[in-house]
Amino acid sequence: MIRRSRRCTVDARGSELISGCYNGRLKFWHLLNGKLLATMRTRCFDMAVIDLLCRRVVRSITAVGKCVNALEFSSDGRWLLTADDTKYIK
């Protein structure tokens, strides 16, 4: 099944794109060749900080949403912040 991306962001180097899907998955793409590098499933939380080197959640705040609505890189490009459809920060 093909799912539309809800949000996406590009890293500071311009080499990787990360898309957030309606099903709660994050997909990591190589921008030059378009290949899918990795996929990770997010749990139902409204906010997460992801270590991009390890591609794992290092901090999260539990909630009931599942749809990724926002993605943003930290200024040093090492962390990715995600937010979902609950519209609240706890």
DSSP string for 7-63: EEEE-TTSSEEEEEETTSEEEEEETTT--EEEEEE--SEEEEEEETTTTEEEEEEE-
CA distance 80 to 35: 20
Which tens digit of pLDDT belongs to each residue from 20-58? 877 778 899 999 999 999 998 876 555 677 888 888 888
Which tens digit of pLDDT belongs to each residue from 39-49? 988 765 556 77
pLDDT of residue 73: 79
